[in-house]
Chain A
């Protein structure tokens, strides 16, 4: 983990120093254990959860940071003076900091942490070694830090959700390949005859994200000592590649990965078997096959040839069925455990996430229809749609899973405070609903104002007129975001207090690759 890119003039120099410092730090950390005795084979008798713990803590740090920046951006839209005059703090630079911090910082760390946990449990095998999971986790976080420190300095290749420049991109490829290898090596050593559904999704997530990331970031750097690069594609091809990437980032990062999370934590927390194995198969292959084609619906009514738009729209429509089958499979799994949903905010997080997943996928397919898109495109409706998915589905399933897994990995009886989980739940759902309703209203009003003609065939409203009409909704959105942020802070505090709780319970005998007592694992409810 040593990339000595130092001594560059250019903003890249700051990043070079950052990477160099991280490299030195790692050498010391590894070197410290150089004389430690060879680890005994006993370690194979337990799971390796330290990277998971670190990943959860990092995810919570990122979410508080990312939501705070997001809310700041939201208030900037209410009052543009909130940039405080700095170039670095302008909307165009801060917004990618927000998206990267929440999607990659929070979502990514949550996925890495939970996937390593789930992988070991469902394979009944310890991770293949001690070093590579740390390399993946810390290397990935280094990537995120490079990203969010680069944007305020103006380092960006201007591709939405792929703004990082070439050197950070290359670094992520290395990290990601190691992540995939951990998965393959652990699965190869599994003691279960079958690979569990959650792992299908996690594998799809890792594999496809690697593919998307590499293709979309093919670019030629200006020089080896310069941060700027130029993409290999141009014009409408570039736009198509970008949205093939962009939509599949939603599909495989924000959907497949979190479906993997849901397929483990929801049934375990509910104590119920998955409703239908067969539906899992249909959903999985439906989602992985159909999503690949849908990206062009981001480019309706553009220079993209009409036939590509047709394919994007129709595949988006077909995609609805497997998506709903997934959401339905999750909700039907809760049959027989609805009493728990009522009493347990952690499970309720996951239930609401599945509902939001269903709503958002319906909305997405709907918005992919050309006639609807003519109204919704370029408006706040899209922003609302994304946040219904991001706040309602991604964040809720992650918070639910984290609340489930924290007591397990830190060997605590339960979370520090069930009341705070409850508070977090209601703040999150209130924040998400306020946000989404504000953006629906504002988006549809915007779309209608832009297309309203007077009797004489002239536009009735100027663009500024529509901005003035947006103002109250922007205030509402920022308040919704603030509620969600407060919830996130409460969650971080609760998790921190849980970690600090005294008296860890003794090793659960069932939570080992070779449980001594068969079937001591969580029992299905009556």
Chain B
């Protein structure tokens, strides 16, 4: 065995180390100077960096660095600076009334931009990026508001949420009239027919092949049951009550669907929607921007 026999490689001209493993040999080429140079450079950079920045632990403390930089103070300063830059318009939004802000096109331009990202990052997951909602999530671009559509109402709903953990939360519940046996099965269907007829006046006359044709007598019976069970929340005229979060049943807005079947399901099983409280998560300014953004959306969209 040729152990420790150095050879000269004909291609590079360097000697081998003399070892061989299963045919592999190694050249004894000196390490290129560039390697040492860059190694020294990177170490030098690191040492300088250590001197300038917080770097090495010393028991219970650490070397603070000559520049006195700390990420916590840096980020606090940056946030403060940003707040000062924004204060030109944030102070106005914070202090002025809704109507005053809405009449200032320049301020509303900012609200539209800031509101869009705020809404996209916080509200769109449920209400959709166009705020038009979806099954079980209200459309926020219509004039139909469960808890009132005045600026103060919207602002407060965002603050406390609905059926949320907030102490001032808005609370509402539609009882499960069918499941909890408050009404017999047949009566639920009758009320549903009546409610359906409020938004479908032609329900009794329409071609049965297209839509369920409903007997006027069923609607009449449903109206009586409605008067006995539902008016306390939804009102005598079924137009709802924003104090209680009871929806208007005569308009075209339906959170859980306006078909006869969907209405029947809601009456049978009840409803108790939830919206989180945003007081702990968004600043008052952000919540005010969102309120203005939604008010604006409502006026812009037909």
Residues of A that sit less than 8 Å from B by CB: 121-122, 124, 192-194, 196-197, 264, 267-268, 272-280, 282, 286, 301, 305-307, 309-311, 313-315, 317-318, 320-322, 324-325, 328, 335-336, 454, 456-465, 510, 518-519, 521-526
Query: Is B12 a contact of A277 with CB atoms below 8 Å?
Result: no
A-contact bits for B17-59, CB 8 A (1 contact / 0 none): 1010111111111111001001100110110011001111100
B interface list, Cβ under 8 A from A = 1-4, 9-12, 16-17, 19, 21-32, 35, 38-39, 42-43, 45-46, 49-50, 53-57, 62-63, 65, 69-72, 82, 85-86, 89, 110, 113-114, 116-121, 124, 129
Residue of B nearest to A195 (CB): B21
With A192-B21, A306-B71, A321-B38 as contacts: A278 and B124 at CB distance below 8 Å: no
Q: Are A454 and B113 in contact (CB under 8 A)?
A: yes
Given A310-B54, A321-B42, also A276-B29 (CB < 8 A): yes
Contact partner of A311 (CB less than 8 A), chosen from B27, B56, B113, B119, is B56
- Contact among A121, A307, A462 for B22, CB-based, below 8 A: A121
A279-B35, A321-B42, A464-B120 given; A310·B50 CB < 8 A = yes
Write out the residue numbers on chain A whose beta carbons fall within 8 Å of the beta carbon of B82. Answer: 457
Residue of B nearest to A282 (CB): B31
Taking each of B9, B27, B39, B118, which has the highest tally of chain A beta carbons within 10 Å of its own beta carbon? B27
* Residue in A121, A301, A457, A519 whose beta carbon sits within 8 Å of that of B21 in the complex: A121
- Report if A460-B113 is in contact (Cβ < 8 Å); known contacts: A276-B31, A521-B22: yes
In the complex, are the beta carbons of B113 and A307 less than 8 A apart?
Answer: no
Give chain A nearest CB distance to B143 CB in angstroms.
Answer: 25
**Contact A459-B117, Cβ < 8 Å, known A310-B53, A320-B42:** yes
A276-B28, A307-B54, A462-B120 known; A519 and B2 CB under 8 Å?
Answer: yes
- Chain B: minimal CB distance from A475 (Å): 21
Asked if A317 contacts B50 (CB within 8 A), the reply is: no
Please tell me if the beta carbons of B27 and A307 are within 8 angstroms of each other in the complex: no
Q: Is the CB of B46 within 8 A of A465?
A: no
Q: Which of B29, B82, B124 has the most CB of A within 10 A?
A: B29
Knowing that A307-B53, A457-B85 touch, tell me 9 more A-B residue pairs with CB under 8 angstroms: A193-B4, A272-B11, A273-B9, A321-B42, A336-B11, A461-B117, A462-B118, A464-B120, A521-B22
A510 to B10, CA, bound (A): 24
- 14 intermolecular pairs with C-beta atoms under 8 Å apart: A277-B26, A307-B53, A307-B63, A310-B55, A310-B65, A321-B42, A322-B39, A454-B114, A456-B86, A456-B110, A458-B110, A458-B114, A462-B124, A522-B23
When chains A and B are docked, how far (Å) is the Cα of A268 from the Cα of B22? 9
Chain A residue with the shortest CB-CB distance to B9: A273
Query: Which among A272, A279, A462, A518 is the interface contact of B31 at CB below 8 angstroms?
Result: A279
* Complex Cα spacing A309 to B46, Å: 13
Q: B113 to chain A: which residues have CB within 8 Å?
A: 454, 456, 458, 460
Q: Is the CB of B27 within 8 A of A274?
A: yes
Q: Determine whether the beta carbon of B29 is less than 8 Å from that of A278.
A: yes
Q: Which residues of chain B come closer than 8 Å to A510, judged between CB atoms? A: 23
CB–CB B71/A301 < 8 A: yes
Instruction: Report whether B114 and A274 are in contact in the complex, using a CB–CB cutoff of 8 Å.
Output: no
Give min CB distance, A203 to chain B, whole Å: 15
Asked if residues A274 and B24 are in contact (CB atoms below 8 Å), the reply is: yes
Asked if residues B120 and A278 are in contact (CB atoms below 8 Å), the reply is no
Tell me how far the C-beta of A303 lies from the nearest C-beta in chain B, rounded to whole angstroms. 10
CB distance from B50 to the nearest CB of A (A): 7
- Once A277-B26, A335-B12, A456-B114 are accepted as A-B contacts, the answer to whether A463 and B120 lie under 8 Å apart by CB is yes
Name the residue of chain B whose CB is nearest to the CB of A319: B42
* Complex interface: chain B residues within 8 A of A311 (CB): 55-56
User: Complex: how many Å from CA A454 to CA B111?
Assistant: 12
The residue in chain A whose Cβ has the minimal distance to the Cβ of B64 is: A307
Q: Complex Cα distance A268/B1, Å?
A: 19
Least CB separation from B129: chain A residue: A464
Bound Cα distance from A501 to B28, whole angstroms: 41
Determine if A317 and B23 form an interchain contact, defined as CB atoms under 8 angstroms apart.
Answer: no
In the bound complex, what is the Cα–Cα distance between A309 and B74 (angstroms)? 15
Q: Most chain-A CB neighbours within 10 Å: which of B31, B43, B56?
A: B31
User: How far does the alpha carbon of A276 sit from the alpha carbon of B28 in the complex, in Å?
Assistant: 5
From B10, B72, B86, give the contact of A458 (CB < 8 A). Answer: B86
Q: Are A267 and B24 in contact (CB under 8 A)?
A: yes
In the complex the two chains form, is A457's CB within 8 Å of B55's CB? no
Do B24 and A122 touch (CB < 8 A)?
yes
- A308's nearest neighbour on chain B, judged by CB, is B57
CB contact under 8 A between A524 and B25, given known A307-B63, A325-B35: yes
With a cutoff of 8 Å between Cβ atoms, the chain B residues found around residue A267 in the complex are 24
Q: Is B27 in contact with A277, judged by CB distance below 8 angstroms?
A: yes
| Bound Cα distance A274, B114 (Å) | 61
B129 — which chain A residues lie within 8 A by C-beta?
A: 462, 464
Residue of B nearest to A325 (CB): B35
Q: Is the CB of B24 within 8 A of A277?
A: no
- Complex-state Cα separation, A472 to B102, whole angstroms: 38
User: How distant is the Cα of A277 from the Cα of B6 in the complex, in angstroms?
Assistant: 13
Q: Which of B30, B43, B120 is packed against the most chain A CB atoms within 10 Å?
A: B120
B35 to chain A: closest residue by CB = A325
Task: Report A519 CB to chain B, min CB distance, Å.
Answer: 7
Residue pair A314, B30 in contact (C-beta under 8 Å): no
Query: For A315, what are the chain B residues with a Cβ–Cβ distance below 8 Å?
Result: 46
Contacts A314-B50, A462-B117, A463-B120 given; indicate if A518 touches B2 (C-beta within 8 A).
Answer: yes
Chain A hits for B53, CB < 8 A: 306-307, 310
Contacts of A526 in B (CB 8 A): 10-11
Collect the chain A residues with CB atoms within 8 Å of residue B70's CB. Answer: 306
Q: In the complex, which residues of chain A have a beta carbon less than 8 angstroms from the beta carbon of B21?
A: 121-122, 192, 194, 196
C-alpha gap A455/B108 in the complex (Å): 14
Q: Closest residue of chain A to B114, judged by CB?
A: A458
| B110–chain A nearest beta-carbon distance, Å | 5
- Asked, given contacts A276-B31, A307-B63, A462-B124, whether A521 binds B23 with beta carbons under 8 Å apart, the answer is yes
Given A335-B11, A336-B12, A458-B86, A306 contacting B26 (CB threshold 8 A): no
A518 to B20, CA, bound (A): 11
Report the bound CA distance from A525 to B85 in whole Å: 69
Report the separation of the CA atoms of residues A192 and B26 in the bound assembly, to the nearest whole angstrom. Answer: 14
- Chain B residues whose CB sits within 8 angstroms of the CB of A193 once the complex forms: 3-4, 19
B34 to chain A, nearest CB (A): 9
CA distance A331 to B21 in the complex (A): 20
Q: Does A264 contact B43, Cβ atoms closer than 8 Å?
A: no
For residue A278, which residues in chain B have a CB less than 8 angstroms away from its CB? 28-31
Give which listed residue, A280, A301, A521, contacts B26 with CB less than 8 A. Answer: A280
Q: How far is the CB of A408 from chain B (nearest CB, A)?
A: 11
Query: Which residue on B lies nearest to A525, using beta carbons?
Result: B11
Q: In the assembly, what is the distance between CA of A438 and CA of B121, in Å?
A: 25
**Residue in chain A with minimal CB distance to B85:** A457
Contact A314 B121 (CB under 8 A): no
Once the chains are docked, how many angstroms separate the CA of A465 from the CA of B129? 10
A272 to B120 alpha-carbon distance, docked (Å): 60
Question: Could you tell me the distance in whole angstroms from the C-beta of A398 to the nearest C-beta in chain B?
Answer: 19
For A279, the chain B residues whose CB sits under 8 A away are 29, 31-32, 35
Q: Say whether, besides A306-B70, A456-B114, A518-B2, A276 and B27 are in contact (CB < 8 Å).
A: yes
B1 surroundings in chain A (CB, below 8 A):
518
The interface residues of chain A lying within 8 Å CB-to-CB of B26 are: 197, 273-274, 276-277, 280
